[in-house]
Amino acid sequence: MKNIITTCICLVILNSCSVLSQAPWQVNGKLEVSSNGHFVQHKDGRPFLWIGDTGWGVFQQLTREEIDQYLDHRQTLGFTVIQAVAHWSPHGGGLDRSPDNAANAYGHRPFVGDENKPITSEPLIVKGGNMNTPNDYWDHADYVIEAVKKRNMYLALLPCWASQLITGKGLYSVEQAKIYGEFIGKRYGKEPHIIWMLGGDTKAQFDAYDKNQKYSAYDDRPIYRAMAEGIVKGTTGQSPAWNEKSPAWDEVFMTYHPNGDAPYGSSQWFHEDVWQDANGVEVWKEVNDVYRTMLNEYQLKNPVKPSLFLEGSYEYGSYRHECGWVTPVRVRRQFYHTFFAGGAGHTYGAGPVWAMRGNEGDYNCGYTWKQALDFPAAKQVAIIGKQFLIDHKWHEWVPDGNVISGVGEAESLKTAVTSKSGDMALVYFSNNSACRVKNILNKDADAFWFNPGIGKKEKAASFKDKEARDMVPPTNWEDAILVLQVTK
């Protein structure tokens, strides 16, 4: 009998390990929008928590060995999404911008044409190679696709870096965008871990004076819509229009990466477009605009769509301040403001990492991208923050200002949510200042403090039903979360 029990236990353990080692798309199915429209879930209804990392230059800059090093690190931390660009316009890292048809680490260019002017409807394909012995740019791209997949992470794939290549240079016409979209959709669209992210740090439409009082006007929406149509055709073989409801659109999950001038999110151009499943937001250096921008997205109707925070202020970035101005606490504020505003996902980034080029130059503030992998906020987001969100059912959070008063602003902002089940309220304190907290759960509630920097919990005095009192985080905590849970 003892041997039978031991055998059964071993089988259970082995079976559990087998399940855990399976990819989420194998266990839970493909990604889709939840029934309430506010978050992303798997086909079986399991919520998908988007914890992204910004690796824009992976395809273009890194060797196979460096790709493995980067992805192993991010997988170990717990990131669920990697954001990278197939046709990258290399910049950053303290170096001048590279040509628009720049060669990758193996000397291969993505398109026919010279190094300064690619013909974007003609990917440069050379027969005879593969992802381990590449003959062309796309052989190496295959390696990136497979490397992310085998680590059970999702790849948010930008077909091109649009701010330079579409808005800046006009290197994609409507026709070229559709042809290229079909090419890349046919090549990668059936991969279960691909999330399509159009755009790339740019507005899709603009008609105004910029911050320098220079007038400009353009409308590139037809280009992105054509690219989306090309991708779905390459993936499914079907040709629905961008505004036509079709089961084919359910086979691809798409969003859009806008530029960093808050409050410009993709919702203002594509919110009602059928192809765009989730709205995308970028605030870049505007760290104090995250909550407002994400809350505006959460409140949009007709239809309700998830909103993803796709780029913010990079850890240890300077943003016209001194190196290191973006401290870990500034990164954490962006992270928690995203989810306390009802966001469906958040992407982290480290200042020296995103470009994956340059060495210890002024731009990188003295760090190489490899050294910057171990910046502290990456762990605070992908390990501590991720687990906190899971433990407290983030997908059930509803922004609720009735919990708090004296909320402050900017770096002293306090934000609150309640759970849909009504058994929990949470308040995020962006710094160590006080606000008034009210128990609106209609029952007595236990309370505790959570330190987002180190994952530490500390008990707080319980709240009676309807009780309100001034609360301030424990001494020397940079930021904090107060959690109220109905007493059982």
Q: Are residues 450 and 373 in the same domain?
A: no
Q: Are residues 275 and 405 in the same domain?
A: no
Q: Are residues 274 and 179 in the same domain?
A: yes
pLDDT at 13: 34
CB neighbours of residue 440 within 10 Å: 18
pLDDT at 21: 77
In the chain, the number of structural domains is: 2
Q: Are residues 248 and 174 in the same domain?
A: yes
**Domain end marker among 380, 395, 410:** 395
Rounded Cα distance between 412 and 417, Å, is 17
Does residue 33 fall inside a structural domain? Answer: yes
Does residue 52 fall inside a structural domain? Answer: yes
pTM as predicted = 0.94
Would you say 101 and 113 are in contact if contact means Cβ atoms under 8 Å apart?
yes
Non-local (6+) Cβ contacts of 385 within 8 A are 51, 332, 335, 336, 452
Does residue 317 fall inside a structural domain? Answer: yes
pLDDT at 363: 63
Does residue 18 fall inside a structural domain? Answer: no
CATH number for the domain harbouring residue 282 = 3.20.20.80
Closest CA to 348 of 375, 388, 318, 321: 375
Q: Distance between the two ends of the chain, CA-based, in angstroms? A: 40
Q: Are residues 232 and 164 in the same domain?
A: yes
Does residue 371 fall inside a structural domain? Answer: yes
Q: Are residues 37 and 124 in the same domain?
A: yes
Q: Are residues 326 and 442 in the same domain?
A: no
- Token pair of 119, please? 């013909």
**CA-CA-CA-CA dihedral for 328, 332, 333, 335, to nearest 10:** 140
3-state secondary structure 313-343: CCECCCCCCCCCCCCHHHHHHHHHHHHHCCC
Would you say 145 and 191 are in contact if contact means Cβ atoms under 8 Å apart?
yes
Q: Are residues 310 and 442 in the same domain?
A: no
- Token pair of 302, please? 């007709």
Does residue 7 fall inside a structural domain? Answer: no
**Domain end marker among 362, 395, 428:** 395
Does residue 13 fall inside a structural domain? Answer: no
On the CB side of 80, CA atoms within 13 Å amount to: 19
- Which residue type occupies 133? T
Does residue 125 fall inside a structural domain? Answer: yes
**Domain end marker among 365, 395, 425:** 395
Render each residue's pLDDT in the chain as its tens digit; 488 residues: 334 333 333 333 333 333 347 999 999 999 999 999 999 999 999 999 999 999 999 999 999 999 999 999 999 999 999 999 999 999 998 888 999 999 999 999 999 999 999 999 999 999 999 999 999 999 999 999 999 999 999 999 999 999 999 999 999 999 999 999 999 999 999 999 999 999 999 999 998 776 678 888 999 999 999 999 999 999 999 999 999 999 999 999 999 999 977 667 999 999 999 999 999 999 988 999 999 999 999 999 999 999 999 999 999 988 888 889 999 999 999 999 999 999 999 999 999 999 999 765 556 788 999 999 999 999 999 999 999 999 999 999 999 999 999 999 999 999 999 999 999 999 999 999 999 999 999 999 999 999 999 999 999 999 999 999 999 999 999 999 999 999 98
What is the span of the domain harbouring residue 100?
A: 26-395
Q: Are residues 367 and 405 in the same domain?
A: no
Q: Are residues 61 and 155 in the same domain?
A: yes
Q: Are residues 382 and 450 in the same domain?
A: no
Q: Are residues 121 and 164 in the same domain?
A: yes
